[in-house]
Amino acid sequence: MENPLIVANWKMNPQTTEEAKTIALSSDRKGVVICPPFAFIKSVKERVKKAEIGAQNCFSEKKGAFTGETSPVMLKKLGCRYVIIGHSERREYFGENNNLINKKIKVVLKEGLTPILCIGEMKKDTGGMDDIKEQLVEGVGDLQVKKIIIAYEPIFAIGTNLPCDVEEAEKKKVFIKNVLAKNYSKGEQAAVLYGGSVNSKNASSYIKKAGFQGLLVGGASLKIKEMKKIIENVYSL
Ligand code: PGA
């Protein structure tokens, strides 16, 4: 199997540069993408040797009068290779829609960075296929999907300690792959990751049983021992 990708989404944590450096060091392994808050990117990049660095967001323009925003050009200069785009927390708390997300992906690709597009049903009971398809197709638009990593993150599983059943996640992965294959040339080549309450006990099953090509890990990526176990379990497959 190709080396699975483990993306560590630290969200707005930790509080200090020192803590950030310590956590980063413990996740410094090939295949891991550490996504710290903007404020810690430089220090984390200087600290690690094997892990790649990603950002959790960026703006849809390269420069200009956009107070408070961060350009993908700046991220590239800092040594980032990946940018998470359209995380459900950005959609929910910052009103990001598929149109803006598509613009962000476009500018990220133009900079030669790899976007990680987050998609997922917004409610548990609806089956959520429409949400997933819409977010995928409108987010990717007419861009080359094989250059984009897709992260499937069902909203009910994010930060809740209620991970999605592996069988259920596999069904959604098959659905996503079908939408990709139907709508894009070489669509099936895009990597699809799972995210949502990943921990050391369930991490490898999403890859081994459900066939995801990696994981997006939130809360557990800040816990040094837990993250080490996740890395160990995934890379000993
Ligand atoms: P979680 O977060 O692992 O804490 O559920 C995942 C994410 O939001 O990317």
Tens of pLDDT along the chain (237 residues)?
A: 468 999 999 999 999 999 999 999 999 999 999 999 999 999 999 999 999 999 999 999 999 999 999 999 999 999 999 999 999 999 999 999 999 999 999 999 999 999 999 999 877 655 678 889 999 999 999 999 999 999 999 999 999 999 999 999 999 999 999 999 999 988 988 999 999 999 999 999 999 999 999 999 999 999 999 999 999 999 986
Cβ–ligand 1 distance for 219 under 6 Å, the answer yes
CA distance linking residue 98 with residue 91, whole number of Å:
9
Q: How far is the CA of 65 from the centre of ligand 1 (A)?
A: 32
Of 98, 109, 87, 71, the C-alpha closest to 190 is 109
Cβ–ligand 1 distance for 217 under 6 Å, the answer yes
**153 catalytic per annotation:** yes
**87 catalytic per annotation:** yes
Q: What structural domains and CATH numbers belong to the chain?
A: 5-235 (3.20.20.70)
- Whole-model pTM? 0.97
Of 174, 84, 96, the C-alpha closest to 135 is 96
Q: How far is the CA of 147 from the centre of ligand 1 (A)?
A: 23
CA distance linking residue 100 with residue 124, whole number of Å:
25
Give the position, in ligand 1's atom list, of the atom nearest the Cα of 160: 5
The answer to whether the CB of 23 falls within 8 A of the CB of 10 is yes
Cβ–ligand 1 distance for 127 under 6 Å, the answer no
